[in-house]
Amino acid sequence: MSPEEKERRNHDSSAETPPPIQAPWARLTESLEPNPSQSQPADELDTEISEAQAQLANLIRQRRLIELQQQVSDEQVALEVARKRLAATSSKGRSPTVSTAVNCCYSEV
């Protein structure tokens, strides 16, 4: 076989098989290309993800609302306790004669 034939044969064989780096690259490119049969499930998956994210956002809002309602309730209880304490303190400070008379009557009973 002449050197020209060897070169031509090598050239032909290299044209048939891509260099080693190009073969994996081509497979990777093919695997990343969208397949029409796979696009439908991907769209459904995207829809499910969007619905799940919306549901999660709603649950987070509801949880925050419940936390705020609990905080308001706790503050209302604390405010009522403070009002009662203030009323008790104010009534004791305003009329010492009335509280003395009341205490006097209770001590006799």
Looking at residues 60-76, what average pLDDT do you find?
97
How many domains would you assign to the chain? Answer: 1
pLDDT above 80 (res 3)? no
**13 is a domain residue:** no
pTM of the model: 0.43
**64 is a domain residue:** yes
**85 is a domain residue:** yes
Measured CA to CA, the distance from residue 62 to residue 49 in angstroms comes to 20
Q: Are 99 and 92 in contact (CB under 8 A)?
A: yes
pLDDT at res. 65? 97
**79 is a domain residue:** yes
**46 is a domain residue:** no
Measured CA to CA, the distance from residue 42 to residue 45 in angstroms comes to 5
**69 is a domain residue:** yes
Domain encompassing residue 69: 55-89
Measured CA to CA, the distance from residue 16 to residue 30 in angstroms comes to 19
**8-51: per-residue pLDDT in tens?**
666 555 555 555 677 777 777 777 776 655 556 788 999 999 99
**83 is a domain residue:** yes
Q: Is 19 helix (H, G, I), strand (E, B) or coil?
A: coil
54: its two tokens: 């919306």
